[in-house]
Amino acid sequence: MGRGPVQLRRIENKINRQVTFSKRRSGLLKKAHEISVLCDAEVALIVFSTKGKLYEYSSQDSNMDVILERYQRYSFEERAIVDQNIGGQANWGDEFGSLKIKLDALQKSQRQLLGEQLDPLTTKELQQLEQQLDSSLKHIRSRKNQLLFESISELQKKEKSLKDQNGVLQKHLVETEKEKNNVLSNIHHREQPNGAANIHRQEQLNETTHIHNQEQLNGATTSSPSPTPVAVLDSVATLNIGSSQSREGAGEEPESQPSPAQANSGKLPPWMLRTISNR
């Protein structure tokens, strides 16, 4: 059967209490030494007995005074931080009251600047308020004029830059027009010799065609055994003259005689008719 939980309470028997104290003190010192060695910790242990006897232990690398001084410095800093927090919390109420008073005064002054709640003000206070408004208006107007001057200077700079860009574009446009005119003139000069050559070529072709037709006509005339058109025309004209004279002597009006070409149209070949009509 296992042991139940041990209740910790003061030992009434003095002898038993002294024996238990000796045993537990030795165990406590042993544990302090073990944690100091195993964990490389700075350990300081102070024990007072019921009779007021001191038992202490400190780490091998540290002295009891060094550890106690470090403990006092750390505890003092911690207490100072805690005291500041407590003092700040205590002063929060006073600070809130002062801030509320300042806020009310600022709101009142703002309403008075807007022209509200002016009844409780005296003449002197109204004059002060007027002076304050005048100074505020001067500052506002000066700031407005400064902004206007700055905007005007910026606009002037932009205008100058735009004028410069416009001039550059105009120069570029003039150069482009010049180049275009030069290209058109070159094309025109190139087309003119070609046109003259084409006209000359057409004239030569027409002349060659005319010569060829003449040669064909001359060849046909030399190969035919019929009389020449000139002799036929002379004979026809002689016949016509004789007949007209005889009719005039008889008192008859001369009738309109057909042309040689019409008279001989049924007897002459087509190529002779063409030659007679041309003559």
What's the one-letter identity of residue 21? F
For the segment 249-254, the average pLDDT, to the nearest whole number, is 44
Note the pLDDT tens digit of each residue in 138-165.
999 999 999 999 999 999 999 999 999 9
Helix extents (H) in 224-253: 229-249
Residue 228 contacts residue 271 (beta carbons within 8 Å): no
The pTM (predicted TM-score) of the whole model is: 0.31
Mean pLDDT of 41-68: 83
From 28-42, 59-73, 79-93, 221-235, the region with the lowest mean pLDDT: 221-235
Q: Report CA 251 to chain centroid distance, whole Å.
A: 113
Give tens-digit pLDDT for 176-214.
999 988 888 888 777 665 556 666 677 778 788 878 777
pLDDT of residue 201: 73
Q: Is 136 helix (H, G, I), strand (E, B) or coil?
A: helix
Q: Residue 250: what pLDDT? A: 42
Cβ(33)–Cβ(25) below 8 Å: no
Asked if residue 58 lies in contact with residue 44, where contact means CB atoms within 8 angstroms, the answer is yes
Q: pLDDT tens across 112-129, in order? A: 888 887 888 788 888 888
Identify which has the larger pLDDT, 95 or 137.
137
Strands 54-58 and 44-48: antiparallel
Q: Which amino acid is at 116?
A: E
Percent of the chain with pLDDT over 90: 16
